[in-house]
Amino acid sequence: DAIKIGDICFFYFIIWSIQQKYQDFQTKVAEYQQNAPTMTEQVRAQKEQELQAENQSLQKFQQDAEQSIVKKQQELYQPLYGKIQTAIDKVAAENGYTHILRAEALLFISDEKKGDISDMVLRKLGVEPPAKTEE
């Protein structure tokens, strides 16, 4: 039998779910706006409270989903981060570096890139760095 591989995007379902909930909420808001003029004050106040509660619930669902995505990304990347850190530590020790700073955290970076150890770390990980292009 031939091997057949499929893939699935977990985040697609989260986004789809948020969109569905948002569309449902928008439908309820439109219905409320259409029917509000004929509602009694008590019914209108109750519907407004329900819509506010649903809006808060939707916002919380979206925040929870975003946090879930970030947490899952951290879990998936953790093994890679560990390997990269080990390679950085080895390159630093082998080349006499006392400090290694993340370039994106620096306020100023020299154009000379004399201290950039990125290619050495890639080689330590068994990856050949891409060829440098002249700019």
| Token code pair at residue 6 | 């499929």
pLDDT at 127: 84
Computed over its alpha carbons, how large is the radius of gyration of the chain?
Answer: 27
Enter the pTM of the model: 0.53
Tens digits of per-residue pLDDT, 44-90? Answer: 999 999 999 999 999 999 899 889 888 988 898 899 889 989 999 99
Q: Helix-strand-coil percent breakdown of the chain, rounded to 5? A: 70, 0, 30
- In terms of Cα–Cα distance, which of 64, 60, 57 is closest to 24? 57
